Amino acid sequence: MSSSESENKVAEGTPRMPTPPMRRVTVNALTDAGWVAGSLHVPLQVRLVDYLNRAPDFLSLTEVFMEGHAEAIAYLALQRQAIVFMLVEGQEESLSVEDTGIMDEHLVSCLFRMGSLKGKIMVKPGTRLSDVLAKQRKFIAVTECTYWLRAHQGGDASAKYGPFLLLNRDKIVGLSEHTAPA
């Protein structure tokens, strides 16, 4: 018997871990290679930002549309590190911030290689922006976003709005906090 046959026999007798109930989250991800749209399957009781921060290096997307492909692709393994930001459709923003009490709203502007964005992040009272960047694991939830992409990056220099996105901290070139106009 070959080693792969014996591995299969062991695997067949091993009980499978139960899969938690999942929800489908429709996302549009700006990646280093362009836009990718599809569905992520996320455990029902887990916030998307927590899922992304703990996910393996490659995310499983289904029903995928990519630049240059006219038809949907059934499955794509997307490298998490390649994501600049991920726009999220639906009511996902209700699961975006911790329910740990009072939170402060910070208006921020962010520069990344392909463009810039402006939006709001929620943090615990008294938390400095530098602390958010130092302590945040990978993705930061940003709400009420306006973003601009350079024309050669699939943008048209006009502002686009996204009610909720997850920004990859490692793709940030610069981040500033500002006050709302009076």
Residue 146 belongs to domain with CATH number: 2.30.30.100
Chain segment 91-122, per-residue pLDDT in tens: 655 444 455 568 888 899 999 999 999 999 98
Number of domains in the chain: 2
The two tokens of residue 80 are 């998490």
41 in a domain, yes or no?
A: yes
Question: How high is the pLDDT of residue 171?
Answer: 95
What residues make up the domain containing 168? 92-178
Whether the pLDDT of residue 181 is over 70: the answer is no
| DSSP label at residue 53 | H
Given this model, what pLDDT does residue 10 score? 45
Q: Give the pLDDT score at 85.
A: 96
The whole-number average pLDDT for the span 64-71 is 91
d(Cα 149, Cα 160) in Å, to the nearest integer? 9
Predicted confidence (pLDDT) per residue in 43-61, tens digit? 988 889 899 999 999 999 9
Q: Is this prediction's pTM over 0.85?
A: no
Mean pLDDT rounded to a whole number for the chain: 83
Residues 172, 98, single domain; the answer is yes
- Closest CA relative to residue 30, chosen from 173, 169, 166, 174: 166
> Which of 88, 116, 143 is the endpoint of a domain?
88
Is the model more confident about 32 or about 134? 32
Question: Which among 37, 40, 73, 85 is positioned nearest to 59, based on CA atoms?
Answer: 40
In a domain, 47, yes or no: yes
